[in-house]
Each structure stands twice: as C-alpha cells, then as structure tokens.
Amino acid sequence: MHIYNKIKFFSFEKKMINYLCEGWSNKRHWNFFQEVFSRKKKFKNIALLGVYRGRDLGYMCSALKKNNGKDFHIYAIDLFDFKTPFRKVGNKKIWQQDTNILEPSIQNSKKIVKLLGCKKNVTFIKGDFLKIKKLKSKLDFAYIDIGHDYNTTFQAIDICKKLGSENIVFSGDDFYDGYTLGTPWGVKKAVKKKFKKFKIHYDYIWESSLKNYKI
Ligand SMILES: C[S@@+](CC[C@H](N)C(=O)[O-])C[C@H]1O[C@@H](n2cnc3c(N)ncnc32)[C@H](O)[C@@H]1O
C-alpha cells in the first residue's frame, strides 16, 4: 500500500473506533500503542485488562495488524456489565457503581474487532480479571485499565508478572491523581510500589519491564 494511503487508512480507523466505541482514551493512547507495537520486539500474546466498549482494543488491533500482520493474540478481559458480581474495596465506591456512565459492552467490543478484521486475533473473557490466571500463553504485553484503586492495580500487576514472558512489557492507564465517585485512584502508588523504574508516556500512561519489577 502506498505510504499516503496507509496513513489515510489508519487515521480513518482511529476515527471509526472513536465513533463506535465510547471511552476515555484519545490520541495519547492511540500514539502509545502505535509506538510500542512498532518496536523491534516480539508482541505475540497480549492481555488487555479493562475493555469497556472496545476503544483501546480497537487501537491495539489497528497498531498490531499494521506491524505484525495477523501474528498476535489479545486476551480481552472485562466484567462487561454492571450486573456481574464485582469486588468491593472496603466501603469505597468503585467503577461498577457509577451508573451514570454507559454500561460496558462485549457486543460493542466484538463489533469493532470484527470491523477491523481481527476476529480470530481476540479472545474475550467475561468476568473478574483474576480469570486470566488460567491462561496458558506467556504474555509479551499487558495493559491494565480496570478499577483504579491501589489493591486492584497491585494485584493485576502481580498476576501479569506470573503470566509474563521474560520480555513482558507492563503498562496501564491513569497514572494520575484522579477519582472515581470520590474514591482516589491508587494507580500511581501501586506502580511505584511494584517497580524500581518506570516510564510515563504523555503524562498519563505508565510502562515498565520485568527487570524493574520489585521482588
Ligand atoms: C476505565 S474502563 C476501561 C476503558 C477501556 N480500556 C477502553 O478502551 O475504553 C474500566 C473497565 O474495567 C472493568 N473492570 C472493573 N473492575 C474489573 C474487574 N475486577 N475485573 C474485570 N474488569 C473490571 C469495567 O467493567 C470497565 O469496563
């Protein structure tokens, strides 16, 4: 494909994903996935913890197919609704209790994956993120964007570490002093606790590696 058409094609994909998938991610996240997945490194097995309505999933598929063709697999996990029993964090309010937002949707997420031609590259897992413990594949990349409280983020990093290949890239959203329903986010604290060193992309997205994981 001519380079100009290629650029036009991928910016069309970004617009389509943003239009069809409600979410918070924006050009920072798009650029982050484009940059990471163009590195000279093998990204075969990927876990996305927190899918919502498929926006980051669409961004990932778009970047991965550009660089890997069809040679990748994403395990996309989410509670995918407000009804599935969710973990309580003391008496603090969390994600699934914010009924002002549109409900997460597996159908919507499947739709975008199909439109991008990546149906065979994604396995959807509905339920608590602890379900990924059963994965047999070694992860090369994990993106954590579930509940933003400290314990959840801490635990998610640990699980991904157990499932990771020796070159796993850990990353996640919302390295920021935000709130969900008045509950302060704990992503920053958990990342600082779990890694000796990490990078922050666009003042918002964190990244680290196995060699920086604190035992
Ligand atoms: C900030 S949203 C994720 C946004 C998403 N990455 C996107 O592209 O729009 C957080 C998601 O995490 C999910 N979630 C929260 N707690 C979870 C848990 N314990 N296990 C699995 N998913 C969870 C919610 O259902 C919600 O869809």
Residue 94: count of CB within 10 angstroms of its CB: 19
- pLDDT tens across the length of the chain (215 residues): 555 555 556 689 999 999 999 999 999 999 999 999 999 998 999 999 999 999 999 999 999 999 888 899 999 999 999 888 777 777 777 777 787 889 999 999 999 999 999 999 999 999 999 999 999 999 999 999 998 999 999 999 999 999 999 999 999 999 999 988 888 899 999 999 999 999 999 999 999 999 999 97
Please give the distance, rounded to the nearest whole angstrom, from the Cα atom of residue 108 to the centre of ligand 1. 14
**Nearest atom in ligand 1 to 82's CA:** 25
| DSSP designation for 174 | -
* φ, ψ for residue 204, nearest 5 deg: -150, -35
At the topology level, CATH places domain 3-212 in Rossmann fold (3.40.50)
The pLDDT of residue 68: 83
Contact 78, 130 (CB under 8 A): no
In order, the DSSP letters of 91-160 are TB--GGG-TTSPPP-HHHHHHHHHHTT-GGGEEEEES-GGGGGG--SPEEEEEE-S--SHHHHHHHHHHH
Give the model's pLDDT for residue 48: 98
Give me ligand 1 centre to Cα 8, in Å. 30
Q: Say what the pLDDT of residue 5 is.
A: 54
Expressed in angstroms and rounded, the spacing between residue 49 Cα and the centre of ligand 1 is: 7
Establish whether residue 122 lines the binding site of ligand 1, counting it when its CB lies within 6 angstroms of any ligand atom.
Answer: no
For residues 61 and 74, is the Cβ–Cβ distance under 8 A? yes
Nearest CA to ligand 1 atom 22: 78
Residue 169's H or E segment, with its range, is: strand 164-172
Whether ligand 1 lies within 6 angstroms of the CB of 129 is answered as yes
Q: What is the pLDDT of residue 86?
A: 78
């996990």: which residue's tokens? 77
Q: Do 76 and 109 meet the contact criterion of CB atoms below 8 Å apart?
A: yes
Report domain extents, the chain: 3-212
Question: DSSP string of 40-86?
Answer: SS---EEEEE--TTSHHHHHHHHHHHHHHTT--EEEEEE--SSSS--
List the beta bridge partners of residue 48.
76, 143
Measured from the Cα of 48, ligand 1's closest atom is 6
